[in-house]
Structure 1
Amino acid sequence: MFNTIEADLRRFDSTGQTRPAPRIIGIGGYTSDIPVSTLAIASASAAVSALQSLCASELGHIPDATVDAAAIDHWCKGSVQPANWSMQPQWDRFSRDYRTENGWIRLHTNAEHHRDAALSVLGRPTTPDEVEREITRWDSESLEAAIVEAGGCAAQLRLTRAWHTHPQGRALSLEPIVAWDEAPSHPCRWNLTSSQRPMSGLRVLDATRVLAGPVATRFLASLGADVLRIDPPDWNEDGNAIEMTVGKTCAGLDLRDKQDRATFRRLIQTADVLVHGYRADALEKLGFGVDACRALNPGLITVCLNAYGWTGPWTNRRGFDSLVQRSTGLAEVRDNGVVALPYQVLDHATGYLMAATALHALRYQREHGKTLSARLSLARQAKLLLDHRGDRATQCAPFEATQHRRYQEDLEQTDWGPVRRLRPAYMIAGIDSGWDRPAHHLRSDVPAWRPKVEE
């Protein structure tokens, strides 16, 4: 799987140079019929490999690197352990699977406007039990379509063979893991100045939310990048922010507001990388599509994410990992209920691949003076899992029997309370990987870059 991923990541790499790969230690815990751990480990390894390639290009040598397979599993399940307090649940009380008249459907209602959309279709019930009773009267496909049309997020549970014949499934099957686009020549403004913190000085504008994009920018922040996360005024995800804001600056802008749009425009002009998870048409409508951003900043590397792929009828459909699992057949009915994958591997794998994409694009820009943009989707990683379904190259121990959780010694004083955070799951020789500020609330900082060291 690693080789398959690397081939797509390195589509613009024709140098013939040795392709570095980190050493994998330990074992992942989830590789039964669906190779969940294999995908997570391969994706994280691809991100580390991309860093090795960049260091080789800039520093003249390939640093040794190791990825801890068991630690990757732990990171994908949750990286923090609260110290004598309880964390907020990650799921809204209506976010669950429901039995319909002829099958199952998953609602995703963590965002208030998504919750309101779904409940409006169902006659505005006030409790999950009332939602359950109402949904039993619906056909799965009809309810999915109604909620999506209302601006909500839902996915009926499909069999994999149904997904393969669905128009979106057919379109996605023709997409690469990373869809690259090359822009005219433009020199790279960023320079690798610190071998210990190789991404120091790199300005990453993060317009992503749950969870893949934040995983990507968390990885870059762990290597020293200046990550500035921007959230709209009505977005809240406290259940995930404690995982994903570590090492970042977290500000808020309303891109419908004239003054905030001007601020965002200035940030684009001074950024090196833009990572965003808006639907395919959303930033275009706001005036910040790829072409508009290139006009503002010709050297801007853009890494874009959506849920269901960049071709086909669902290109602009809202979606999340849990929904894509249901749409593609990765989740299944078992023991009179829906069983999903053991963690949100589509999010985490895509996040690591987005980080790898940004690093490959940086190296290419440094070596060739040309700017790349890239598009990835959660559903394309679902295809990877389905393509490798049944692969059992390694017999792995049960998850709980793998290596014990290894937390950092010092407590991290977050805005929610003190936590212990796992040590990074990757180790690169000579590089200090970690975060220089604790997790904190969204929109708690001003929308500005940190001062550069030389300033």
Structure 2
Amino acid sequence: MNDVSLAKAPPDAVELTRGLLQACGLPTDAAQGLQLTGHDPVLPSSFAVGTAAQATIAAAALAACTLGRLRGQAAQTVSVDMLHAALECTGWFSLDGQVPDLWDAFSGLYRTADGWVRIHANFAHHRDGALRLMGLDPATASRADAEAAMAQWKAADFEDAAAAAGLVATRMRSFAEWDATPQARAIAAQPLFTIRRIDTADTPAAPLVLPPLAAGARPLTGVRVLELTRILAGPVGGRALAAHGADVLLVNGPHLPNIGAIADTSRGKRSALVDLREEQGRATLRGLVQQAHVFIQGYRPGGIAERGFGPEALAKMRPGIVCVSLSAYGTQGPWATRRGFDSLVQTATGFNLAEGEAAGQGKPRPFPMQILDEATGYLMAMGAAAALYRQQTEGGSWLVEVSLAQTGYWLRGLGRVADGFSAVQPKTMEQPAFEHYLESSESGFGALRALRHAARLSATPAVWDLPSMPPGSHPPAW
């Protein structure tokens, strides 16, 4: 893919949203009643991050409304303001009046002997593994020690060694360098997302009939969603489904760490612990699957299938289920099994270098938010609702597949924003210009102040009627 000019304006957000819905196989009138306001730049970036946020949030809401209409709900207007959408995608929140620092001291970019490497160290085992790979003792090493050690490595060597060790680090590439890789070519050959039936000879294709909606009910009321995700994209997708009425049960392993953003992303959900390392835990999850409509997972590639919960196994367990699968680099190509996070995908695929060059700073620059995570999360919610619509109308079990790298490829294709850095990044949302985008709630983590949902529905407003709670606060039951 050739780089796009800074003079090329991003596409019309309404047409972009319609295109997403059409790619889902939804009716041509799925975008009726859509109202979008604002234009890029809304946050400092040379890429159309505001347009991406607005279109994906709108598409997720419209897909839910389309399913609601199928269940007897009247059509309604969906409005999304671009600034509100972009701010929501920053993931800003405070607890008890304090904004937490969500990044580990060892996370970030490091200079190497011949370039840059980004390390993701927010989980202790990833941080300690990276430090040991550098030849350092995790118990005593400082950031300065890590920087000195990394300066002795070649970027490609560290990336390869980290991947071989199951760690999460990547070297920084330009767009041209990324485009020359087999993985980039594999991603370019795939669509933004896929939605396909996964029926087999012994899985009946009869619809799992959802009941008609009562007056005033949100469009996903009665939809049971099992969410097995931990980082950001998957939790954002589950939270969007909860905002439109879905019964979302977040399932974590008792031995698995979480990031601080769970205080924000688990709004509207119940949160349970199930240990899939043990047969009792797997039996519990099988029982939950028997009554679920949607199964969302963001495990490492192949990880959930190893426990007996791959898409085909789920389709046999619960014929008619919708499975949503998230990966870093897609299902094709040599990096299909590689772990990754938004910040790493930005670095690997050329965005950090491109942003730095556009800003004229002479050093790499990240996006003003984790837009690959956030947009992918809303694509997951859109895909889940669209697959449910198709399940209700066509029968069958369905699989939705998304990846951070495919979302990045899509974002890059939207064009560049010539005056993108004229926008200002808010230091805090708690100021008059942004206060009206916030809402307050009590949570299991403390007094939570966070962004309200940017999708505004005229008849059934999006709300989170359950507070965010720590993992294990609820039993693993519907």
Q: TM-score, normalised by structure 2?
A: 0.87
Identity of aligned residues (%): 34
Alignment of 1:129-278 (within 5 A): 129-184=144-199, 185-194=205-214, 195-278=216-299
State the secondary structure of the residue aligned to 1:143. helix
- Alpha-carbon distance between aligned partners in 2 of 1:336 and 1:364, rounded to the nearest angstrom: 49
Tell me which of 392, 397, 417 is aligned to 1:371.
397
- Alpha-carbon distance between aligned partners in 1 of 2:30 and 2:62, rounded to the nearest angstrom: 11
> Are residue 314 (structure 1) and residue 335 (structure 2) matched?
yes
Distance 1:236 1:317, change over 3 A: same
Quote the residue 2:6 is aligned against. none
CA contact 2:58–2:78 (8 Å) conserved in 1? no
- Alpha-carbon distance between aligned partners in 2 of 1:289 and 1:69, rounded to the nearest angstrom: 36
Give a deviation string over 1:339-392, Cα, whole Å, max 9, x none: 101110001101111101111111111222233211000111111122123256
Alignment of 1:423-434 (within 5 A): 423-434=452-463
State the secondary structure of the residue aligned to 2:65. helix
Distance 1:164 1:352, change over 3 A: same
> Are residue 342 (structure 1) and residue 354 (structure 2) matched?
no
- Alpha-carbon distance between aligned partners in 1 of 2:231 and 2:30, rounded to the nearest angstrom: 35
Q: Which amino acid aligns with 1:69?
A: M
- Alpha-carbon distance between aligned partners in 1 of 2:403 and 2:274, rounded to the nearest angstrom: 25
Quote the residue 1:54 is aligned against. 67
Give a deviation string over 1:10-44, Cα, whole Å, max 9, x none: 34637554643520124450375311111111111
Q: After the TM superposition, which of the residue ranges 334-343 and 97-106 deviates more from structure 2? A: 334-343
Tell me which of 334, 347, 351 is aligned to 1:330.
351
- How far does residue 327 in structure 1 lie from its aligned partner after superposition? 0.6
CA contact 2:61–2:244 (8 Å) conserved in 1? no
CA contact 1:32–1:392 (8 Å) conserved in 2? no
Q: TM-score, normalised by structure 1?
A: 0.92
- How far does residue 249 in structure 1 lie from its aligned partner after superposition? 1.0
State the secondary structure of the residue aligned to 1:326. helix
Q: After the TM superposition, which of the residue ranges 118-127 and 25-34 deviates more from structure 2? A: 25-34
Q: Which amino acid aligns with 1:441?
A: P
- Alpha-carbon distance between aligned partners in 2 of 1:158 and 1:21, rounded to the nearest angstrom: 42
CA contact 2:328–2:405 (8 Å) conserved in 1? yes
CA contact 1:100–1:138 (8 Å) conserved in 2? yes
Query: Unpaired runs of 5+ in structure 1?
Result: 450-455
- Count of residues in Structure 1 that have an aligned counterpart in Structure 2: 447
Give a deviation string over 1:295-319, Cα, whole Å, max 9, x none: 1001110011101111000011000
> Are residue 406 (structure 1) and residue 401 (structure 2) matched?
no
Quote the residue 1:22 is aligned against. 34
Q: After the TM superposition, which of the residue ranges 393-402 and 346-355 deviates more from structure 2? A: 393-402
Give a deviation string over 1:55-88, Cα, whole Å, max 9, x none: 332226321111121111111113433343x243
Distance 1:242 1:117, change over 3 A: same
Give a deviation string over 1:391-445, Cα, whole Å, max 9, x none: 5699985455995232556x41122321223332111111032111212212332
CA contact 2:322–2:397 (8 Å) conserved in 1? yes
Q: Which amino acid aligns with 2:220?
A: M
CA contact 2:68–2:213 (8 Å) conserved in 1? no
- Alpha-carbon distance between aligned partners in 1 of 2:129 and 2:212, rounded to the nearest angstrom: 46
- Alpha-carbon distance between aligned partners in 2 of 1:443 and 1:124, rounded to the nearest angstrom: 35
Distance 1:211 1:192, change over 3 A: farther
RMSD of the alignment, in Å?
2.4
CA contact 2:274–2:285 (8 Å) conserved in 1? yes
- Alpha-carbon distance between aligned partners in 1 of 2:27 and 2:264, rounded to the nearest angstrom: 38
Query: Unpaired runs of 5+ in structure 2?
Result: 1-10, 200-204
Give a deviation string over 1:239-280, Cα, whole Å, max 9, x none: 211111111111122211111111111111211000111233
CA contact 1:247–1:436 (8 Å) conserved in 2? yes
Q: After the TM superposition, which of the residue ranges 117-126 and 390-399 deviates more from structure 2? A: 390-399
- Alpha-carbon distance between aligned partners in 2 of 1:434 and 1:289, rounded to the nearest angstrom: 31
- Alpha-carbon distance between aligned partners in 2 of 1:323 and 1:71, rounded to the nearest angstrom: 26
Q: After the TM superposition, which of the residue ranges 140-149 and 423-432 deviates more from structure 2? A: 423-432
- Alpha-carbon distance between aligned partners in 2 of 1:36 and 1:257, rounded to the nearest angstrom: 42
CA contact 1:9–1:357 (8 Å) conserved in 2? no
Quote the residue 1:291 is aligned against. 312
State the secondary structure of the residue aligned to 2:340. coil
Give a deviation string over 1:153-190, Cα, whole Å, max 9, x none: 00110001111111100100011111122134221242
CA contact 2:195–2:383 (8 Å) conserved in 1? no
- Alpha-carbon distance between aligned partners in 1 of 2:73 and 2:263, rounded to the nearest angstrom: 37
